[in-house]
Chain A
Amino acid sequence: MSCAPRPKLAVWKFSSCDGCQLTLLDCEEDLLPLADRVEIAYFLEASRATSPDPYDLSLVEGSIATKDDIDRIREIRAQSRVLVTIGACATAGGIQALRNARDFEQLRSVVYAQPEYIDELATSTPIADHVRVDFELRGCPIDKRQLLEVITAFLAGRKPDIPDHSVCFECKRRGVTCVTVAHGTPCLGPVTQAGCGALCPAFGRGCFGCFGPKADPNTRALLPLLRTDGLADQDVARLYRTYNAEAPAFREAAREATDTVKETAEETRR
């Protein structure tokens, strides 16, 4: 054991599938060396031992979905020097944010016979809607290499080297044939932030946007291309409405696609 106090790492969970914090445990060969460098001060999925705050780095998974969550995230913010949100739930509200656009009462009654027992908010929202966030790591789930980069960077007191360009860059770098150009496969790669390593195109599949929108995405320009590739406008909207449905650029893109349905109908009438 070294004598110098190690920085304290905490991992917190809100509404989520646990997959992003599991990514930390999936850093198999890097896990024990990491644990030598930091004190894992709070990580319930991994340990019953906890240390008191303050925490040097808090990783927050999941979205805000109950009234209780709001109090809890404020407390965590107050206890944390640096707070990084990890994954689509924490950064955009996650798949469960699809309920934001739906009738919540009706939704609850589909699943529960006695929905009055649920102390659930009608919306699922990202952490940054409630407290200051120092960095957002995207992905559904996050990428292991990016997670290690974020942890290493914050422990070193530098900005993490996480690009905000599109998946297209990663395709080019990886030498993956463009699925849209070669096969006419609908792909959200041009408007989605990199980080996955162009995983879906590498498997011959169009990107479905699980890392959320890139910086300044030109969704309007992509729309005709998605149509050419055979998507009906409702399908375009559906494609945007998944794991990052409530990320503003994707929410807007889904609306654009369905609005043009109405515009086209009106033009036809004229």
Chain B
Amino acid sequence: MTHRSHRLLSVSSLARVEGEGAMQVHVVDGEVESVRLSIYEPPRFFEALLRGRRYDEPVDITSRICGICPVAYQMTACQAVEDACGVTVDGQLAALRRLLYCGEWIESHSLHIYLLHAPDFLGLPDALALARADRALVERGLRLKQAGNQIMEVLGGRAVHPVNVRLGGFHQLPEREELDRLTALLRTARHDAEATVAWAIALDFPELHIRHATLALRPTDSYPLDAGTPTLHHAFSDAAPPTVFPVEEFEQHVVEAQAPHTTALTATADGLRYLTGPLARWRTAADLLPPDLRDLGSTAGLDTACDNPFRSIVVRAIEVLWAVREAQRLLDAYEPPPAPAVPVPPRAGVGRAATEAPRGLLYHRYELAADGTVLDANIIPPTAQNQSAIEADLRDFVQQRLHLDDTELTRQCEQAIRNYDPCISCATHFLDLTVERR
């Protein structure tokens, strides 16, 4: 052969992901030359727009970055601003916040598992087709999703952009009878979550093994959600102890750079490409789960380091069950705190926080003036951190599947991308790729 054979695979609009994205794969002479996950969600300049706002506003404003995980933004913004003001919210107020966050995990993960991801494993175009094939399955997913939404509605007022969260706690505490209603709902949700795990374990998983570093929070006494120490494992196969650093040093380890040839901001941790999200949490903190949940993972073939992104659906299912049980525990132990919020007076300073959004680690930093004016803000959303790992995985994935025709290869690539539950709306600072389109 004297000429080089070129094959270009291009998916202009990825379906069943949150936000808008595209994918291009370029194959030359049987070798994958480049894989690009293009984000054409126009940037919305949140960090710049936050400058000059008052310190109690990021809570509501940053939730508008993502309609799928607004609570993650609210919780992280609150904690970061409170950190700047030297206030720690603890006790039952922290418990209520955690309960709200459990609601979002249940809602977001159920949406992803049943409406976005499940159809892939069953070879169907969407959840509506799935409902025609197995209505009870989709109804179970919707019921579980609704349980998460109900938690958010009781504590936050509404499921998308809740209104009840404020610095120091909440505008109003929930009524006992509303919490009792949640307790009753969660009994059903627990059965549904258990059934979800059993169903997910039995799926067929394509082979794909990844080698990235992982970054997740590791709390001292619980599976990661609203707190923990950033923990960087250098590679999936690496048995060496992880690098652990306090949130204060986050930006010394995690660096976002705008690579000139990709036009996207990509993050590295200690110079390493890394993955955040369910697989990273599982790797970092599965040992902190209750033993029976850990055993469920073992039954499903998840080792301490599950390196197959297709199995992330199992980790998500286990995380839903964990979040339902955690919500039940918090409700059982709830006693109304003396006030809906503690005072958070402004002061000059810098505050930082990291929490685990359903799709991965979310970091906020705010610099405040003495009167509470926001001078500077930095937000590092999960999908920005995952992008280069997703691209690297796709490269390996495509290389092993070059024998497939374009239609089938495209379908499988889309499925592979959905493994990471990318939230492209979280593109606080992804770049528009129009300039790259020819």
User: Which A positions have Cβ atoms within 8 angstroms of B?
Assistant: 13, 15-23, 25-26, 28-29, 31-32, 35, 40, 44-49, 65-69, 94-96, 98-99, 102, 106-108, 110-114, 117-120, 124, 140-141, 196, 199-200, 202-205, 208, 210, 235, 238, 242-243
Contacts and interface: CB of A to CB of B under 8 A. Distances in A.
B128 A40 contact: yes
B68 A19 contact: yes
B142 A28 contact: yes
B386 interface: no
B15 A47 contact: yes
Contacts of A22: 18, 67-68, 111, 160
B281 interface: no
A20 B67 contact: yes
A108 B45 contact: yes
A95 B149 CA distance: 24
Contacts of A210: 161
A32 B131 contact: yes
Contacts of A18: 18-19, 66-68, 425
B16 interface: yes
The 4 closest A-B pairs by CB, nearest first: A19-B67, A47-B126, A48-B15, A49-B125
B198 to A, nearest CB: 22
B161 A112 contact: no
Nearest to B150: A28
A183 B155 CA distance: 22
Contacts of A31: 142
B142 to A, nearest CB: 4
Contacts of A13: 19-20
A69 B432 CA distance: 12
Contacts of A110: 45, 47-48, 51
B49 A95 contact: yes
A203 B163 CA distance: 8
B257 to A, nearest CB: 8
B161 A199 contact: no
A208 B157 CA distance: 14
Interface residues of B, number: 70
Contact of B43 (A106, A111, A196): A111
B225 to A, nearest CB: 21
A119 B160 contact: no
A202 B153 CA distance: 12
B163 A200 contact: yes
Interface in B152-168: 157-161, 163-164, 166
A112 B429 contact: yes
Nearest to A46: B126
Given A47-B126, A107-B48, A204-B172, A117 B431 contact: yes
A111 B429 contact: yes
Given A18-B67, A49-B125, A119-B432, A113 B258 contact: yes
Nearest to B51: A110
Given A22-B18, A28-B143, 17 more contacts: A15-B42, A19-B160, A22-B68, A28-B142, A40-B128, A46-B126, A46-B127, A47-B128, A65-B42, A117-B263, A199-B157, A199-B158, A202-B157, A203-B163, A203-B171, A205-B163, A242-B60
Contacts of B158: 141, 196, 199
Contact of A111 (B48, B127, B172, B411): B48
